[in-house]
């Protein structure tokens, strides 16, 4: 089933990239990109629709104490950071793959496994962001959309890298207490949110963005991507296999 999901999403990716010149957005801001309808359908709208039909209320929310032992905390950071740094060097491989690698390395026999996985997830995303910048500086290749944007805006040299790493460090220090503070306040806010209405609003927003920025061609890609994005849920496989939408076209392109 995993291979089926990978091939289905990969086929969608090949067709979508081949149809990029057919995009006819009503609002022209730069060049239309198939990533918006394709990824929104595969990962966004599909999950929203499943959630709308599976449950209509948010589960009870409450504060919990952080009780992860230091040994497991360090292990989660190590596995996540290592996986994130490794995948940063490969084209078409995102931090989602790093989280899978980290997940495989973390045993599930302990009650704190979920907490340790969250730690490794954070480590993977952070290290991936750092090492994609490093890859840009060392080999001159972009490995993510954010880094590609940085490459177009800034001249990459030692001074720029030092500035970027300083910003990353400061952001990490500020985001830790800020996340805890906002998280506690968000708990009270979530209690008053109508789950179905909230999901419907986000789905309508996604649909509107797809139509406005990619036109009817993007809408077709979006509509096709939604059922493919639902396959992992019903077939019991990980949604990360949907990354075939990028991996398969990129692999075929590199092979010529």
Parse the chain into domains and list their residue ranges.
Answer: 1-58+193-256, 60-178
Q: Coil, helix or strand for 109? A: coil
Q: Given CA atoms 143, 103, 78, 121 in this order, what sign does their dihedral have?
A: positive
DSSP class of residue 64 equals -
Provide the mean pLDDT of the chain: 81
Each residue's pLDDT tens digit, 106-155 = 766 565 567 777 788 888 888 888 888 888 888 777 766 677 777 777 77
Q: Which residue has the higher pLDDT, 223 or 76?
A: 223
Contact 224, 38 (CB under 8 A): no
Cα separation, 195 vs 198, whole angstroms:
5
Q: What would the two tokens of residue 226 be?
A: 């939604």
**What pLDDT shows up at residue 253?**
80
Residue 20 CB coordination number (10 Å) = 16
Contact 249, 17 (CB under 8 A): yes
Q: What would the two tokens of residue 73 be?
A: 């905390």
**What pLDDT shows up at residue 222?**
93
Q: What would the two tokens of residue 221 be?
A: 């890609």
**What pLDDT shows up at residue 31?**
58
**What pLDDT shows up at residue 229?**
92
Supply the angle between the helices 46-54 and 195-235 in degrees, to the nearest 10. Answer: 110
Q: Cα 194 to the chain's mean position, in Å?
A: 25
Each residue's pLDDT tens digit, 35-71 = 889 989 999 899 999 888 876 666 666 666 667 778 8
**What pTM was computed for the model?**
0.65
Contacts of 250 (CB under 8 A, 6+ apart): 91, 92
Each residue's pLDDT tens digit, 188-227 = 777 777 778 888 899 999 999 998 888 888 899 999 999 9
Is the pLDDT score of 230 beyond 80?
yes
**What pLDDT shows up at residue 220?**
93
**What pLDDT shows up at residue 221?**
92
Is the pLDDT score of 237 beyond 80?
yes
Supply the angle between the helices 158-190 and 113-139 in degrees, to the nearest 10. Answer: 150
Q: Given CA atoms 207, 183, 116, 135 in this order, what sign does their dihedral have?
A: positive
Is the pLDDT score of 32 beyond 80?
no
**What pLDDT shows up at residue 92?**
64
Averaged pLDDT for residues 79-88: 82
């Amino acid at each position: 089933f995993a291979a089926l999901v990978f091939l289905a999403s990969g086929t969608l990716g090949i067709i979508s990239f081949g149809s990029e010149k057919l995009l006819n957005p009503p609002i022209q801001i730069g060049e239309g990109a198939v990533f918006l309808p394709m990824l929104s359908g595969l990962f966004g709208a599909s999950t929203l629709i499943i959630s709308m039909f599976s449950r209509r209320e948010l589960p009870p929310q409450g504060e919990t104490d952080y009780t992860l032992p230091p040994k497991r905390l360090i292990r989660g950071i190590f596995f996540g950071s290592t996986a994130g740094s490794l995948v940063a060097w490969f084209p078409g491989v995102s931090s989602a793959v790093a989280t899978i690698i980290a997940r495989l390395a973390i045993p599930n026999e302990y009650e704190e496994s979920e907490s340790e996985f969250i730690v490794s997830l954070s480590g993977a995303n952070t290290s991936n962001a750092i090492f994609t910048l490093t890859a840009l500086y060392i080999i001159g290749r972009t490995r993510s959309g954010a880094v590609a944007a940085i490459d177009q805006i800034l001249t990459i040299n030692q001074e720029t890298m030092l500035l970027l790493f300083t910003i990353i460090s400061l952001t990490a220090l500020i985001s830790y207490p800020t996340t805890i503070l906002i998280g506690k306040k968000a708990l009270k806010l979530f209690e008053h949110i109508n789950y179905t209405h909230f999901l419907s609003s986000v789905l309508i927003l996604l649909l509107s963005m797809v139509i406005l920025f990619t036109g009817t061609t993007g809408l077709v890609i979006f509509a096709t991507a939604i059922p493919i994005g639902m396959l992992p849920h019903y077939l019991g496989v990980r949604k990360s296999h949907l990354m075939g939408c990028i991996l398969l076209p990129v692999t075929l392109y590199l092979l010529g």
